[in-house]
Amino acid sequence: MSLDTLRFRQKYYNTMYFLFKYLCLKLLAYFRYSLFFRMCGISNNNPHVIESKNEDIIPKSVNYHFTRICNYKCGFCFHTAKTSFMLDLQNAKAGLKLLTMEGMEKINFSGGEPFLPKKGKHLGEMVKFCKKDLKLPSVTIVSNGSLITEEWFQDYGKYVDILAISCDSFQEETNQAIGRGQGNKSHITQLFKIKKWCNQYNVLFKINTVVNTYNYDENMIEKIKELNPVRWKVFQCLLIEGENAGPEALRDAERFYIRNEIFNNFLKVHKSVDCLVPESNSKMQNSYLILDEYMRFLDCRNGFKTPSKSILDIGVKNALKFSGFDEVMFKKRGGFYKWSKEANRLDW
């Protein structure tokens, strides 16, 4: 065998040895990576998608933001009109039925503005389906209230347990500054009308307030007690990357954001209001099961919304693994309460 042949063979064996060693190190690195992310609950396919550690989540209470379109322009909105998509009624009902089969007891319809599509008829048919066909214990709505009419109550009020109206101030100029208004219409006058209709058509009345830089020093005790809601939910202004914060957001909520101590001071001033239910950012961010307009669960744990696949495509159980839902915080913030008309009537 010639010297050139021996040299060639030696070079070949050395190359193969180093190639084998490189592949072994790569495989070892992959398995370490895979094990690490599995321990952290992170998907190997996408390290930014985190699976819920609890694989047995029962979706007792679900918030369905079926539209992102709204007629108001609230500066701190954290679910903005990034798409105009809305599922048709047939597919929406199919998804609601799937959720009920997996244990849903309460559905909350939100937006956007839920009374905007088809002048509230789309919403009305969904609440009717949930109460009449699915027989859900609790059907609730969150709205800015501007498009609600007495006729809607006459048609659909009997299918609704709780109607929550967003009101951040009892001063019209403050509401206008925030963006909660439309033309010369009085948000506050409409609020009192809706309260009267709720009483008349046996719907529990609730108020949602977002504390921010424009209203943190307003004393609302007198008006809240006059309206006498079953719950007054008081939120701290929340920043969500891609929604109301960051370069890709449709809103810039930085100017509305308040520190924890300012929020806590607002709560201290209003502590005499028995129906007050406070929610700081730490309580709010991951303690809601949120479905978007495609019926995808939204995981907010990283400070932005990471969607699962639609429950219509992969089922509820699989989608829940990517919901980021914090059930412990849900219970801690009072997520379970007397959320139906019947429960409040019996006062259990």
Q: Is 48 helix (H, G, I), strand (E, B) or coil?
A: coil
Exactly one of 70, 130, 198, 237 is catalytic; which is it?
A: 70
**Do 184 and 321 contact (CB within 8 A), yes or no?**
no
With CA atoms as reference, report the closest residue to 195 among 144, 172, 245, 229.
229
How far CA 310 is from CA of 99, 294, 307, 313, in Å, comes to: 12, 6, 8, 5
Q: Is the peptide bond preceding residue 41 cis, with omega within 30 degrees of 0?
A: no
Sheet holding 61-65, edge to edge: 276-279, 231-236, 204-211, 162-166, 138-143, 106-110, 61-65, 290-291, 296-299, 306-310
Residue type for position 337: Y
Residue 307's beta-bridge partner residues? 298
CA–CA dist 184, 166 (Å, integer):
18
Exactly one of 40, 74, 167, 300 is catalytic; which is it?
A: 74
300 assigned to active site: no
74 assigned to active site: yes
77 assigned to active site: yes
Exactly one of 24, 77, 198, 275 is catalytic; which is it?
A: 77
Q: Give the Cβ contact number of residue 76 at 10 Å.
A: 27
What tokens does 270 get? 């209003």
Catalytic residues: 70, 74, 77
